């Protein structure tokens, strides 16, 4: 049985983006339950030389939309990297899922 590039990549991206969205939901719920400003989580780094969470999400969505666009022979959509809340990051993920 042969498999094409779409089958080998797009379902993986959709699963990853769905999981990323679920993780952000848990982070948002934890911040609200413990009265922690979401800015703390959005800008947190697990290691000093690591990008903050917001940049990690931006990179993940950029990779998914870039791959999908290139496979389809389309122009890669350009998103502004200005997300500063969980809602902003969720919107970026949703926009990427819709494109993919």
pLDDT 10s digit of each residue in the chain, 100 long? 677 788 888 999 999 999 999 999 999 999 999 999 999 999 999 899 999 999 999 999 999 999 999 999 999 999 999 999 999 999 999 999 999 9
| Domains identified in the chain and CATH numbers | 5-99 (1.20.120.450)
Residue 76 vs residues 52, 85, 99: alpha-carbon distances, Å: 24, 24, 10
- The reported pTM is 0.92
Residue 45 vs residues 1, 39, 49, 85, 88: alpha-carbon distances, Å: 43, 12, 8, 15, 18
pLDDT at residue 84 in the model: 94
Q: What is the distance of C-alpha 7 from the center of its chain?
A: 20
pLDDT at residue 9 in the model: 86
């Amino acid at each position: 049985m042969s498999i094409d590039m779409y089958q080998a990549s797009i379902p993986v991206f959709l699963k990853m983006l769905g999981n990323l969205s679920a993780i952000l939901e848990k982070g948002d719920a934890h911040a609200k339950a413990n009265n922690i400003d979401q800015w703390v989580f959005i800008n947190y780094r697990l290691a000093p030389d690591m990008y903050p969470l917001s940049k990690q999400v931006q990179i993940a969505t950029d990779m998914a939309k870039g791959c999908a666009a290139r496979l389809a022979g389309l122009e890669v959509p350009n998103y502004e990297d200005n997300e500063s809340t969980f809602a902003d990051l969720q919107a970026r993920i949703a926009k990427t899922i819709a494109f993919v």
